[in-house]
Amino acid sequence: MPVIEAHLLEGYSEDERQRLARALTDAACLVIPANPDAVTVMIREVPKANYMRGGKTRTPAPARSDPCDQIRAYLAAMEARNIGTARSMLAEGFVMNFPAAPGLRTLEELIAWAKPRYRFVKKAYDNFEAFQQGQATIIYATGTLYGEWPDGTAFENIRFIDRFEMSDGKITRQDVWNDMAETKANLARAHN
């Protein structure tokens, strides 16, 4: 039964402390074959007056935003075609890899590439997951696509997985996998 004790400078919200406790629990279970219910996490707050580093009293760094919330906001902005908002969430050097379209660098490239493929597409989300890998935050979004083909015919229930990488609160990479081509091929076979 792992017991993890963390010490934080006071100033973090209850929600932020709970996010940290969940992340520490998940990290323990990644390495130690323990049921999450068997992992104990204790967070002790240290008053700022009782802490110094380098002979100076310090203020805690602000907690990072929930990366899943950031990705939800990005995807919502893209779906609404609020390109300025979506662009503001991207890091310099951002790259997107879509099926049959690797290496897209701008949102305008993505829109131009997608235009002949469908009239519109939206996502129904099943799950968001995030974890830290070194300096990068990795986020997965899974669910299904729905929308209209170029001829106006509706489609739905097309599976997708989006994988994002973030650094310093900005999206650096997006990789997309979906069954859209498979669905189109099945429709073409059914009509022949």
Handedness of CA 58, 62, 16, 33 (dihedral sign): negative
* pLDDT tens column, 127-174: 999 999 989 999 999 999 999 999 999 999 999 999 999 999 999 999
185 lies in the same domain as 147: yes
Do the domain assignments include residue 86? yes
Which of these ranges, 13-17, 23-27, 181-185, has the smallest mean pLDDT?
Answer: 181-185
Question: Total domain count for the chain?
Answer: 2
Q: Where residue 142 sits, what CATH number does that domain have?
A: 3.10.450.50
Do the domain assignments include residue 56? no
Structural domain boundaries enclosing 166 = 67-191
* pLDDT tens column, 47-98: 988 888 899 888 888 999 999 999 999 999 999 999 999 999 999 999 999 9
Do the domain assignments include residue 102? yes
* pLDDT tens column, 109-130: 999 999 999 999 999 999 999 9
- Residue 171 pairs in a beta bridge with 90, 166
Q: Where residue 45 sits, what CATH number does that domain have?
A: 3.30.429.10
Q: What's the token pair of residue 85?
A: 């908002």
Q: What's the token pair of residue 67?
A: 């990366």
Long-range contacts of 155-163 (CB under 8 A, 24+ apart): 155/118, 155/183, 158/183, 160/123, 162/71, 162/75, 163/138, 163/139
43 lies in the same domain as 138: no
130 lies in the same domain as 105: yes
94 lies in the same domain as 42: no
- Residue 173 pairs in a beta bridge with 95, 165
